[in-house]
Amino acid sequence: MTDAIALLVVVPIVLALAPIAFGRLWNRTGWLAAFAASFAHLGLSLAVAATVFTTGRFTYAVGNYRPPFGIELVADGVSATLALLVSVVTVAVVVYARRAGPDTNEFYSGLLLLTAGISGVFVTGDLFNLYVFIEITGLATYALVATGRSPAAALSSLKYLLVGTIGASLYLLGVGYLYISTGTLNMADLAATIPEVGYDSPLILTGFGLIVVGLAVKAALFPLHTWQPDAYADSPDSVTAYISALVSTAAAYALFRVIYAVFTPAFDAATPFALDALVILASVSVVVGSVLAVLQSDIKRMLAYSSVAQFGLIVAGFAVANTTAVTGGLIHLVGHAIMKAGLFVGVGALAGVAGGYTVDDFAGLADRAPVTSAAFAVLAFALVGVPPAVGFAGKWHIVLGAVEGGRWGVAGVAIVSTLLTLAYFARVVERMYFRDAPAELAADADRAADGALASDGGSGPTDETDGGSGPSDGGDDDASVAPGESAISIEARAIVVVAAVGAVVLGLFASDLVSVFEPVLEVYFQ
């Protein structure tokens, strides 16, 4: 069943053509193709995972060209788990998008291309092939962000394109530096030839720097995150859920592969300042991302900045460079994807009931939509790191590994970030559960004041129109109080609840995740 690994990429790409080819004949082609592709992908990733868990790591030579010369696909515990994650998120988003939109053929084509690109990033064992998949992921993401109706979505998408392309090009330049010094692009082969060239060779060091900066742009680490909040806030909810769960995850995973499969821990031992710099970049990202999240009044933006912080934490785990911390980073990578996707679907669903995306709009929601609110709260506390959820397992391993490695700074930053995460989620959950719905004029006036304040913090124009609505809109708000849980589609409710349950169950089985990831890491840390 080793062919399944190649089909993980091929199936979504081929089916992505179906909506374009047959969309005119039958309007529902897009959804059906995406639905079929997502379940086919699930089957294939289960097959890959079954092979990996029974017989261990395997490789696949594309086109039967022998690996150092041809392109190699690699499946091990980490890539199999992440491929499974892609399938699960794709199934959920395809189901969600049918009701929540944008339910068009173009959207499903873009979604399938994105699925193919991300799957490719997770399975490839070749640096240039990785560049191509990163760019496929990027192109599809730019198109999906622009499916938002507002003109601001097109602008955010273009901004993302400019920054993202520069990031990917810097990565390509880094790959070029490695290629001219070693003459190979295969990851396993590079790991063997880089020591021959010498870890302190300027070409190797510059290559490492360029690759790390390029991927940090894609993973949205501070200060390279500027594209991310706009892109997340202006996309349709289903797109935000998908890209927040998988796109930055793919970049962070690529960073993990580059650090460990290409440069290996021996590089870290020879040139400690390279990973020291990465630890500092990641730690700053954690703190600044969390603080910016606390300052937001738009919940989608808050979650976007929260991703900046969480990815800082994940990369910090990778950069600590011992088995425990890297395992923690990988667990948090998987856990963050599930929790963020659930949170964004939850925000989209709850905003339909609340009538807006700001923190104040969410006041009193728990009475009106109890099930979704409860699941949202569970996910929020899971991301904070309350045991037994998966957020706790990831952070625990990162902190433990940081202490083991003597990186007290990372341990401190992880704990501070937990407090800040609690600060921005507690604000939302408190309003949902302990405030009355903003039906009265007084609440409206409050909101106007908050809106004016928030626009200083850089939130979008949506706040101002909301705040400026004033008393005349009061009647409208009264009317919008009426829709309750029933206004949320059954799919959205199911997805948020499944994500919440998944986050807790994954936390309970975190030791199994550790036993899946550890054999992969042991090879690197020999």
Shortest Å distance, C-beta 425 to other proteins: 29
Name the one residue in this structure whose structure tokens are 């206004």.
487
Of 183 and 409, which has the nearer Cβ to other proteins?
183
155 or 523: CB nearest other proteins: 155
Would you say 158 or 386 has its CB closer to other proteins? 158
Nearest to 353 by CA among 480, 179, 497, 501: 480
Nearest approach in angstroms of CB 151 to other proteins is 3
175 Cβ partners below 8 Å, 6+ apart? Answer: 127, 128, 131, 185, 207, 211
Which amino acid makes up residue 120?
G
CB of 10 to other proteins, least distance (A): 17
Minimum distance between the CB of residue 156 and other proteins, rounded to whole angstroms?
A: 10
Minimum Å distance from CB 170 to other proteins? 9
Residue number, 78 or 215, with CB nearest to other proteins: 215
- Taking the complex as a whole, how short is the minimal distance between the CB of residue 472 and other proteins, in angstroms? 19
- Shortest reach from residue 63's CB to other proteins, in Å: 14
The tokens describing 397, both together, are 């391993």
CA-CA distance, 87 to 191, in Å (whole number)? 30
Nearest CA to 93 out of 103, 84, 83, 106 is that of 103
Question: Could you tell me where the DSSP H helices lie in 124-150?
Answer: 127-145
Shortest separation between residue 465's beta carbon and other proteins, angstroms = 8
Q: Report the 3 state secondary structure along 320-351.
A: HCCHHHHHHHHHHHHHHHHHHHHHHHHHHHHH
Which chain residues interact with other proteins by CB under 8 A? 128, 131-132, 135, 138-139, 142-143, 146, 151-152, 154-155, 157-158, 161-162, 165-166, 169, 172-173, 176, 179-180, 461, 465
Q: Nearest Cα to 372, choosing from 344, 346, 343, 348?
A: 346
**170/420 with CB nearer other proteins:** 170
* Residue number, 137 or 297, with CB nearest to other proteins: 137
| Residue 408 C-beta: closest distance to other proteins, Å | 37
CB contact at 8 A, 230 and 145: no
Tally Cβ neighbours within 10 Å of residue 489.
16
Q: In the block, which residue shows the tokens 């499916």? A: 147
Q: For residue 20, which of 34, 7, 10, 6 has the smallest C-alpha distance?
A: 34
Smaller CB separation from other proteins, 101 or 176: 176
Helices and strands counted in the chain (H then E): 23, 2
Residue type, 145: V
Nearer CB in complex with other proteins: 142/253: 142
> CB 69: neighbour CB atoms within 10 A?
12
Closer CB to other proteins, 8 or 139, in the complex: 139
Return the number of the residue (118 or 286) whose C-beta is nearest other proteins: 118
CA distance 364 to 360: 9
Q: How far apart are CA 409 and CA 277, in angstroms?
A: 13
CB of 169 to other proteins, least distance (A): 6
Which two three-digit tokens encode residue 196?
Answer: 């021959």
